[in-house]
Amino acid sequence: MPKKFEEFNLNRQILNAVAEAGFTEATPIQEKAIGPVLSGQDLFGIAQTGTGKTAAYVLPMLMKLKYAQGEHVRGLILVPTRELALQIEEQVKLFSTYTDLRTVVIFGGIGPKTQKEQIAKGLDILVATPGRFLDLYLAGDINTRSLQFLILDEADKMMDMGFIGSIHRILEVVPRKRQNLLFSATMSELVEKIAGDFLKNPLKIEVAAQATPAQTVTQVAYAVPNFKTKINLLQRLLKNDEEFKKLIIFCKTKTVADNIYSFIERKFGEDAVRVIHANKGQNTRINSINSFKQGDIRVLVATDVAARGIDVSQVSHVINFDVPIVIEDYVHRIGRTGRAFNEGTAITFFTHAERYYLDKIEKLIRQQIAVEDIPEGVFIEETPFNERQEMAREIDRQKRKENPEFKGAFHEKKKQFPAKDKTAKTKQNKRFKPKR
């Protein structure tokens, strides 16, 4: 039987905010983490995305900080992306509605002036990306002497994005006496290393097998021969607007994301879709996510910059238009649906060249993804020569990765058809060379 929030040692202000937000029962990670965090223990939490990790550390931190005090940061939450930073700031403000605790969020991509002004007014909780935190700390805008809590969220993504050096620098400038919390959906050697440097005798909580998608997500895949057929299949699925009510389409590159956005806009209207990726301005990205949250648009097209930190309720489907090459991103992508006990469906399109990554994903999540037949009526396009060549090269790269001695399919063809004797040809050319 899930534990109710009323059973935790939380004050009435926090419990009222939790109730108003519509939460009554704790998720497994919340049930296992809130008590130890309240008791002051360092904690290493592993749970799949969408299981309520944010509330698992925010609620006890709010309880321990209690009220606004002093001018300097007392709780620091480090996250890998701007989107996740904004999402967590929203959650902190939601749960601290009936307290006077002050929260500021800082991230790169925009000028620091406003962020510096907000910090100067005084704060209790700071949500930050590592790079912007260090920039403002080194500029003298952040004082860490009052810090009591240091939290790393999505630690695996931070390691993937190369933040390990920044994290170590931050550890050098914060007080030694503090409570440390680290949360991650997947595990890697780098996460293990940073955990060893960062945590003191931590309690390790694992509420599900590492890199396991939530059980509320149904996973299916379609073997699709090429890009144009993927577009045809996508159009067929989107026509079913009763079932596909609210969905995120993930793409490997900004170019593909823009192409899919243009296609959906053309077929279903400009009010149906938005696109977010690294080339979009910060305000555009925030407005697009808010429009999607509020139900103003039905489809959000995104690269993996948005795979984490978008907590949107009632997302019916996630479609992986491309299979992610960083296979851990699959877990985070599909975690955008099936959140907070709701059910959702994750659909993956894969070509022959992408089967390699799908196999690796199945090993990672220790599950087999059901492959379904392409629905009747979806036109199967011929694969253009250039796309065939690129897929062949990609398969060669995969084989070379598994076996460094593999020379490649093109190399094999050259061996079958050796070059003619160039010497004879040269002599022939000289013999019939016209006189000038």
The backbone torsions φ and ψ at residue 344, rounded to the nearest 5 degrees and listed phi first, read: -155, 170
* pLDDT at site 429: 46
- Any idea which of 45-49, 153-157, 317-321, 413-417 has the lowest mean pLDDT? 413-417
Percent of the chain with pLDDT over 70: 89
Q: Do 194 and 164 contact (CB within 8 A), yes or no?
A: yes
Compute the average pLDDT of residues 213-235.
93
| Residues 247 and 376 both lie in one domain | yes
* pLDDT at site 414: 45
Which pair of structure tokens corresponds to residue 409? 């399919």
In single-letter form, the type of residue at position 301 comes to V
| Residues 331 and 371 both lie in one domain | yes
| Residues 368 and 238 both lie in one domain | yes
In a domain, 393, yes or no: no
- Any idea which of 155-164, 174-183, 423-432 has the lowest mean pLDDT? 423-432
In terms of DSSP bridges, do strands 317-320 and 247-250 run parallel, antiparallel, or are they unpaired?
A: parallel
> Which has the higher per-residue pLDDT, 309 or 96?
96
In a domain, 427, yes or no: no
In single-letter form, the type of residue at position 41 comes to Q
Domain boundary, last residue among 206, 237, 260: 206
| Residues 202 and 235 both lie in one domain | no
In this model, does residue 377 exceed pLDDT 60? yes
Range of the domain at 127: 5-206
pLDDT band at 87 (very low <50, low <70, confident <90, very high): confident
pLDDT band at 195 (very low <50, low <70, confident <90, very high): confident
In single-letter form, the type of residue at position 15 comes to L
What's the chain's length in residues?
436
> Which has the higher per-residue pLDDT, 312 or 377?
377
In a domain, 100, yes or no: yes
| Residues 198 and 129 both lie in one domain | yes
Q: Do 116 and 132 contact (CB within 8 A), yes or no?
A: no
Other residues' Cβ atoms within 10 Å of the Cβ of residue 355 = 16
Question: What mean pLDDT value characterizes the chain?
Answer: 86
pLDDT band at 349 (very low <50, low <70, confident <90, very high): very high
Report the interhelical angle of 164-173 vs 130-138 (nearest 10°): 40
| pTM listed for this prediction | 0.59
- Any idea which of 62-76, 173-187, 308-322 has the lowest mean pLDDT? 308-322
| Residues 193 and 235 both lie in one domain | no
* pLDDT at site 436: 46
Give the Cα separation of 351 and 323 in Å (integer): 9
Residue where the block lists tokens 């605790």: 101
Domain boundary, last residue among 359, 381, 403: 381
Candidates 370, 51, 358, 329; CA nearest to 218 is: 370
In this model, does residue 116 exceed pLDDT 80? yes
pLDDT band at 33 (very low <50, low <70, confident <90, very high): very high
Contacts 24+ apart (CB under 8 A), 107-114: 107/81, 107/82, 107/132, 108/82, 108/132, 108/135, 109/82, 109/282, 110/282, 112/136, 112/139, 112/141
In a domain, 405, yes or no: no
Compute the average pLDDT of residues 239-248.
92
| Residues 282 and 255 both lie in one domain | yes
CATH of the domain at 117: 3.40.50.300
Could you list the beta-strand ranges (E) of 95-241: 103-106, 125-128, 149-152, 179-184, 203-206, 217-223
Give the Cα separation of 179 and 229 in Å (integer): 52
Domain boundary, last residue among 335, 354, 381: 381
pLDDT band at 210 (very low <50, low <70, confident <90, very high): low
> Which has the higher per-residue pLDDT, 164 or 433?
164
In a domain, 392, yes or no: no
Candidates 357, 334, 325; CA nearest to 216 is: 334
Compute the average pLDDT of residues 315-332.
88
Give the Cα separation of 303 and 322 in Å (integer): 10
Compute the average pLDDT of residues 24-40.
91
Number of domains in the chain: 2
In a domain, 337, yes or no: yes
Percent of the chain with pLDDT over 90: 56
The backbone torsions φ and ψ at residue 38, rounded to the nearest 5 degrees and listed phi first, read: -60, -30
pLDDT band at 178 (very low <50, low <70, confident <90, very high): very high
| Residues 192 and 147 both lie in one domain | yes
| Residues 120 and 242 both lie in one domain | no
* pLDDT at site 209: 55
> Which has the higher per-residue pLDDT, 44 or 277?
44
Q: What order of strands is seen across the sheet that includes strand 103-106?
A: 103-106, 125-128, 75-78, 149-152, 179-184, 43-46, 203-206
pLDDT band at 432 (very low <50, low <70, confident <90, very high): very low
| Residues 102 and 168 both lie in one domain | yes
Give the Cα separation of 276 and 289 in Å (integer): 8
Residues contacting 332, CB < 8 A, separation 6+: 49, 157, 185, 304, 307, 308
| Residues 179 and 235 both lie in one domain | no
Q: Residue 412: CA atoms inside 13 Å, Cβ hemisphere, count?
A: 7
- Any idea which of 143-147, 169-173, 397-401 has the lowest mean pLDDT? 397-401
pLDDT band at 325 (very low <50, low <70, confident <90, very high): confident
Which pair of structure tokens corresponds to residue 371? 């492959």
- pLDDT 10s digits, 47-73: 766 678 889 999 999 999 999 999 999
Compute the average pLDDT of residues 166-170.
92
* pLDDT at site 83: 80
In a domain, 343, yes or no: yes
In this model, does residue 324 exceed pLDDT 50? yes
In this model, does residue 385 exceed pLDDT 70? yes
In a domain, 423, yes or no: no
Give the Cα separation of 277 and 80 in Å (integer): 15
| Residues 264 and 364 both lie in one domain | yes
> Which has the higher per-residue pLDDT, 162 or 321?
321
